């Protein structure tokens, strides 16, 4: 593994970071709507459909982050045996190795974990005949994206919102069917993308009184 400093790694991964952010925006603009179309075949309530999509994003990032840390521990133990640099350079070497060997990530297992969590989620009281595997491709794309985002320094992640929270213009856009005078979030449509606690891409919410 080529050894470089954290600063060098940040510069080298700048273009990859830009591509991942662009991919996040594309999923929001295109894949999210395709997933909504799939769900609308089974669910007439658009609010429930949007809630399902939102939970799918959060669960995909959670599952991918969990898988990443397991792989990271394993790779670090392997590389530490032959690494000559300090802790910082070892960390960079580990991230670089994982970024170049995406086959280490079992995306199918991650997708199934997401679907299982969604089936058990109390926030999604859907009819029993709904199988969240209908948006399998959407979840898979999110898992792959979330995993790749963990290899950046610093990593990118999504913000977790709470129904009823105060609407923040710096974090969210209002959905077109919102009450634009309402100060509180009724529910979330899409999460904001964060980096070191700062909003990189705004999310979308519905506000109602």
Residue 34 has pLDDT above 60, yes or no: yes
User: Considering the entire predicted model, what is its pTM?
Assistant: 0.91
Which three-class secondary structure state does DSSP give residue 65?
helix
Q: What is the DSSP letter of 27?
A: I
* CB-based contact 166:182 (threshold 8 Å): no
Average pLDDT over residues 199-207: 98
E-strand stretches of the chain: 156-158, 172-174, 185-190, 193-195, 198-201, 203-207
Report pLDDT for 172: 97
Q: How confident is the model at residue 8 (pLDDT cuts 50, 70, 90)?
A: low
Q: Please tell me the distance from the alpha carbon of residue 82 to that of residue 143, in angstroms, as a whole number.
A: 31
Q: What is the pLDDT of residues 134-160, one digit of tens each?
A: 999 999 999 999 999 999 989 999 999
Name the token pair of 117. Answer: 């969590």
Name the β-bridge partners of 174: 205
**Which residue ranges make up each domain of the chain?**
6-155, 159-208
Q: Please tell me the distance from the alpha carbon of residue 188 to that of residue 70, in angstroms, as a whole number.
A: 30
- Angle (CA) 28-31-34 rounded to 5° is 125
Inter-axis angle of helices 107-120 and 46-80, to 10 degrees? Answer: 140
Within 10 angstroms of residue 117's Cβ, the number of other Cβ atoms is 18
Q: Please tell me the distance from the alpha carbon of residue 179 to that of residue 141, in angstroms, as a whole number.
A: 32
Mean per-residue pLDDT of the chain: 90
Q: Is the peptide bond before 202 cis (omega within 30 degrees of 0)?
A: no
106: nearest Cα among 134, 67, 150: 67
Which three-class secondary structure state does DSSP give residue 110?
helix
Report pLDDT for 1: 46
């Amino acid at each position: 593994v080529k050894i470089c400093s954290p600063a060098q790694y940040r510069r080298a991964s700048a273009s990859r970071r830009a591509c991942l952010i662009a991919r996040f925006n594309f999923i929001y603009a295109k894949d999210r709507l395709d997933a909504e179309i799939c769900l609308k075949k089974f669910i007439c309530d658009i609010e429930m459909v949007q809630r399902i999509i939102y939970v799918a994003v959060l669960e995909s990032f959670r599952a991918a982050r969990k898988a990443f840390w397991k792989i990271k521990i394993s790779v670090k133990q392997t590389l530490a045996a032959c690494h000559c640099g300090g802790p910082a350079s070892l960390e960079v070497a580990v991230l670089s190795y994982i970024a170049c060997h995406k086959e280490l990530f079992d995306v199918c297992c991650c997708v199934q974990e997401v679907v299982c969590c969604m089936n058990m989620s109390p926030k999604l009281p859907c009819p029993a005949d709904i199988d969240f595997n209908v948006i399998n491709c959407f979840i898979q794309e999110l898992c792959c994206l979330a995993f790749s985002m963990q290899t950046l320094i610093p990593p990118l992640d999504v913000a977790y919102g709470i129904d009823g929270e105060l609407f923040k213009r710096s974090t969210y856009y209002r959905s077109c069917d919102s009450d634009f005078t309402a100060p509180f979030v009724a529910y979330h449509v899409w999460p904001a993308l964060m980096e070191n606690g700062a909003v990189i891409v705004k999310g979308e919410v519905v506000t109602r009184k």
